[in-house]
Amino acid sequence: MSADITQPQGGWLSPDQMQGARDQVPLVYLDAIPVRVDEAGVLRQVGLLLRATQDGMLTRTLVSGRVHKGERIRDALLRHLEKDLGPMALPRVPVSPQPFTVVEYFPDPGVTGFYDSRHQAVSLAFIVPVFGDCEPTQSALELAWLDPTEAISPDVLVEMVGGRDRLLRMALAHAGVLP
């Protein structure tokens, strides 16, 4: 009997408890940039999700979410990748994943340029190759696979909020494919 990694195993908070935690301490989050790589491991495409915000605005974003109490980073990555990309995405997450950077989200966009109106969060950012068929799930309307030049075009970057455009550029630079 296998565990369903998309379901929390512990540390789940009620909405009121979650708001209380957000008001008191920074949360641990992760950002995952799904990519397609060629046979040599060179990044060829990046996957960006299209979501509708609560106020009806359409935004491009990355796979992201919080790490639950008692959850390993690797398990959180797999859970969020499956939740957002579907069970057949086949991500290649190393046994001991290492982030390519760490970003700090603040409710004030002027502090670091990474912004989340709900709370302060420390996010570990990963580049994750995926090899399977991806179907956006949950609140994602679409998943677009873009080559690096398309991904950083002004038309795409303007659709990204909260500093995720900067994080995307950082990921492409780290992978050596920033145009």
Q: Examine residue 64 and state whether it is found in any structural domain, yes or no.
A: yes
**HSE-CB of 124 using CA atoms within 13 angstroms:** 12
Q: Examine residue 52 and state whether it is found in any structural domain, yes or no.
A: yes
pLDDT of residue 10: 54
Whether 89 and 138 have beta carbons less than 8 Å apart is answered as no
Q: What is the mean pLDDT of the chain?
A: 91
Q: Examine residue 32 and state whether it is found in any structural domain, yes or no.
A: yes
What is the sign, positive or negative, of the torsion defined by CA atoms of 124, 109, 15, 25?
positive
On the question of pLDDT at 15 being above 90, the answer is: no
Burial of 178 (C-beta count, 10 Å sphere; 0-12/13-18/19+): middle
Lowest mean pLDDT among 10-14, 109-113, 131-135: 10-14
Rounded mean pLDDT of 31-48? 98
- DSSP 8-state code for residue 151: H
Rounded mean pLDDT of 96-120? 95
On the question of pLDDT at 55 being above 90, the answer is: no
Rounded mean pLDDT of 69-94? 95
142 Cβ neighbours under 8 A, 6+ residues apart: 49, 50, 136
Quote the pTM value.
0.86
- Read off the pLDDT band of 160 (50, 70, 90): very high
- DSSP 8-state code for residue 26: P
Q: How many domains does the chain have?
A: 1
Strand intervals (E) in 53-150 = 58-61, 63-66, 101-105, 121-129, 140-146
pLDDT of residue 46: 98
Q: Examine residue 9 and state whether it is found in any structural domain, yes or no.
A: no
CB atoms within 10 A of CB 156: 17
Whether 76 and 65 have beta carbons less than 8 Å apart is answered as yes
Whether 35 and 131 have beta carbons less than 8 Å apart is answered as no
pLDDT of residue 1: 41
Rounded mean pLDDT of 39-43? 96
Q: Examine residue 154 and state whether it is found in any structural domain, yes or no.
A: yes
pLDDT of residue 48: 98
Q: Examine residue 68 and state whether it is found in any structural domain, yes or no.
A: yes
CATH of the domain at 143: 3.90.79.10
Q: Examine residue 7 and state whether it is found in any structural domain, yes or no.
A: no
Q: Examine residue 60 and state whether it is found in any structural domain, yes or no.
A: yes
- Read off the pLDDT band of 13 (50, 70, 90): confident
Question: What is the Cα–Cα distance from 143 to 48, expressed in whole angstroms?
Answer: 6
Which residues span the domain enclosing 120? 17-174
Question: What is the Cα–Cα distance from 44 to 154, expressed in whole angstroms?
Answer: 19
Distances (CA, A) of 48 to 45, 79, 173: 10, 17, 17
